[in-house]
Amino acid sequence: MYSIGTMSKVTGVKVPTIRYYEDIGLLSEPGRNAGNQRRYDQDGMEALGFIKHARDLGFALDDIRALMQLNGDLGTDCAEADRIAASQLANVQIRIAKLQQLADELERISHLCDGGNGGQCRVLTALGDHSQCTGAHG
């Protein structure tokens, strides 16, 4: 049996987050000892590890809940797990494309500065006037 502190240390999930996962029903509420302290079993540790890894991969809590409901019956629900994972991959690829657009624009803006003190900073001017941007990034 594990205390909430041990669960936190082992998984790297902060104690308030573990409590939050319990509150929203993502993590089963554990039993309590005579001192009314939470005590998690190995299943709780594994579930929290699953949640942590899925969050690290950017999955939304609702998607994690859906994936956890599939757990144990993957033979029949593997297509749904694949659909959720593919959707998350598509979301990540969209974010990467947007971040690349941001990087390109920031690189362009950062090269506007000639290092002078001519009274007007071209970087600040570019930041203040969105029409000077070469692409959409908002």
Write the pLDDT tens digit of every residue in 49-104: 999 999 999 999 999 999 988 866 556 668 888 899 999 999 999 999 999 988 98
State the greatest distance between any 2 C-alpha atoms of the chain, in Å, as a whole number.
Answer: 73
CA nearest neighbour of 1 among 37, 25, 49 = 37
Asked whether the CA dihedral 66, 67, 71, 73 is positive or negative, the reply is: positive
- Tokens of residue 98, six digits: 């947007």
Q: Where are the domains of the chain?
A: 1-60
CA 108 to chain centre: 29
Find the length of the chain: 138
Indicate the fold that domain 1-60 takes in CATH: Multidrug-efflux Transporter Regulator; Chain: A; Domain 2 (1.10.1660)
Q: What percent of the chain has pLDDT over 90?
A: 49
